[in-house]
Amino acid sequence: MYYVYILICADGTYYTGYTTDLVRRLHEHNRGQGSKYTRARLPVELVYYEVLPDKSSSLKREIAIKKLSRREKIRLVDKCQSN
């Protein structure tokens, strides 16, 4: 199982990634062992995730989310949090 996730960083920016272990990856980000981008913007908070069946579909979805505008990402996160 794979996860595509969105984090909100301390500076209000969004970071999108994928992983096979969401809890481990979130801890890595907050320990400064995640991406270089989040390392400079700690702490981060998980605000959205999707479960996908395989690596290929998770990578495609990650790319699709990264192409969204900030406004579209906010709508995606808000829609998820209202459910």
- Write down the pLDDT at residue 79: 87
Range of the domain at 13: 2-74
In the three-class reduction of DSSP (H, G, I as helix; E, B as strand; rest coil), residue 3 is classed as: strand
Query: Residue 82 pLDDT more than 80?
Result: no
The number of folded domains in the chain is 1
The answer to whether position 20 is within a domain reads yes
The answer to whether position 51 is within a domain reads yes
CATH number at residue 34: 3.40.1440.10
Query: Residues 50-70: what's their mean pLDDT?
Result: 96
Distances (CA, A) of 32 to 9, 19, 47, 50, 62: 12, 16, 18, 23, 21
Query: Residues 18-47: what's their mean pLDDT?
Result: 95
Query: Residues 17-41: what's their mean pLDDT?
Result: 94
Query: Residues 5-27: what's their mean pLDDT?
Result: 96
The answer to whether position 83 is within a domain reads no
- Write down the pLDDT at residue 83: 59
The answer to whether position 58 is within a domain reads yes
- Write down the pLDDT at residue 8: 96
